[in-house]
Amino acid sequence: MVEHLTVNLGARSYPIHFGADLSPDVGTLTAAAATAGRKAAVVTDANLARVQSDALRAMFGAAPVLVLPPGEETKSLAELGRGLDFLAANGLDRGGAVWAVGGGVIGDLAGFAAASYLRGIDFYQVPTTLLAMVDSSVGGKTGINLKAGKNLVGAFHQPRGVFISTNVLATLPPREFAAGLAEVIKCGLLGDAALFARLERTPLTLASPDLAAVIRRCCELKARIVEADEFETAKDGGRALLNLGHTFGHAIEQVAGYGVYLHGEAVAIGLVAAARLSHLLGLVPAGDVARVEAVVAAHALPVRLRAPLPLAALTAAMARDKKVRAGRLRFVVLNAPGVAATRGDIDPALAEACFRAAGAG
């Protein structure tokens, strides 16, 4: 059974479709577009192209496909240039559409290419990782990384639709599935205490009977936040709450080198650090830090760095984070599991203490 959820953004509203296998639905849509003379172009990665080649053909027929290397390093200026050249070489016009089929890296890069090409054409998300399903495919944030930091170049460009087929998760490597669970834990911590309690009781796995329901709940939570603050301009709270754990996590990714930690692995360490920061601020008891650490560990995610990283480099990376305003870095902290808030008055020494507790040297 196919279910639907709408992200309500006025003229930029779009549906999120949920089902076990939505390949036929995508195929019907792309075939109708082709009949109407609207070209489609597909962007995916080498891993997906290898294991899902039949599904790609079923969904997109003879549409051109750009296959990019897997991994965070692909979110670069060089690969963005390849994507833009690909769209131009295949003659996409303003009536064309880009289909991003893959994880968060593909969605971010292909979405940014669609936002940039001809000053913006349509794109659709077909997320194939848990992380992309519950987080990056929803909300219209697109972009690439620079040497100076993660996601420092990009655009808000909402997709025309998102197609989430849960069956594809069966082909996901265990490490990638676990990385997606970090974003599920984040959703519970920032806005759904019942979800966090569910994750405390029993780890979410591929075999969990409520996996599809949890994915939908995460999308619903993110959709409501995006609807209230699409362009992340709220003075307090708003869309910035979705960055819980990410200020620490993005610094870890950059300093370790993109690809050393999967995004979700770095965020997992960041969630524990954010909980510890909340405790140091007197917002939550030490027991809540232990609860967060236990849930993260129970879902096969790291709670500390695998090897020490230089503290000075981590703090410098945080200072270049895109969430800096008026020279001050905003952190997302917990008032309780399930209740988050933004703070811009954090003593840098407290953030450093959290990095040290995570294993920074």
The verdict on domain 3-171 having CATH code 3.40.50.1970 is yes
- Written in H, E and C, the secondary structure of the chain is CCEEEEECCHHHCEEEEEECCCHHHHHHHHHHHHHCCCCEEEEEEHHHHHHCHHHHHHHHCCCCEEEECCCHHHCCHHHHHHHHHHHHHCCCCCCCEEEEEECHHHHHHHHHHHHHHHHCCEEEEEECCHHHHHHHCCCCEEEEEECCEEEEEEEECCCCEEEEEHHHHHHCCHHHHHHHHHHHHHHHHHHCHHHHHHHHHCCCCCCCCCHHHHHHHHHHHHHHHHHHCCCCCCCCCHHHHHHCCHHHHHHHHHHHCCCCCCHHHHHHHHHHHHHHHHHHCCCCCHHHHHHHHHHHHHCCCCCCCCCCCCHHHHHHHHHCCCCEECCEECEEEEEECCEEEEECCCCHHHHHHHHHHCCCC
pLDDT tens per residue, range 255-311: 999 999 999 999 999 999 999 999 999 999 999 999 999 999 999 999 999 999 999
pLDDT band at 326 (very low <50, low <70, confident <90, very high): low
Cα angle value 298/300/304 (rounded, 5°): 95
Average of per-residue pLDDT across 87-111: 98
Q: Which two tokens stand for residue 163?
A: 């197609």
Maximal CA-CA distance, the chain: 61
% of the chain surpassing 90 pLDDT: 95
CB 248 within 8 A of CB 202: no
Ordered by start, the domain boundaries in the chain are 3-171, 193-357
Domains 3-171 and 193-357 in one fold: no
**Residues 211, 52: Cα–Cα separation, whole Å:** 22
Residue 323: pLDDT above 90?
no
d(CA 295, CA 303): 10
Q: Residue 234: pLDDT above 90?
A: yes
Architecture of domain 193-357: Up-down Bundle (1.20)
pLDDT, residue 1, reads 80
pLDDT above 90 (res 40): yes
Contacts of 168 (CB under 8 A, 6+ apart): 21, 52, 55, 128
Among 88-92, 104-108, 122-126, 233-237, the minimum mean pLDDT is found in 233-237
* Residue pLDDT, tens place only, 175-186: 999 999 999 999
Residue 322 has pLDDT above 80, yes or no: no
Check whether 327 has a pLDDT greater than 80: no
Separation CA 350–CA 331 (nearest Å): 11
Distances (CA, A) of 184 to 124, 295, 341: 22, 11, 18
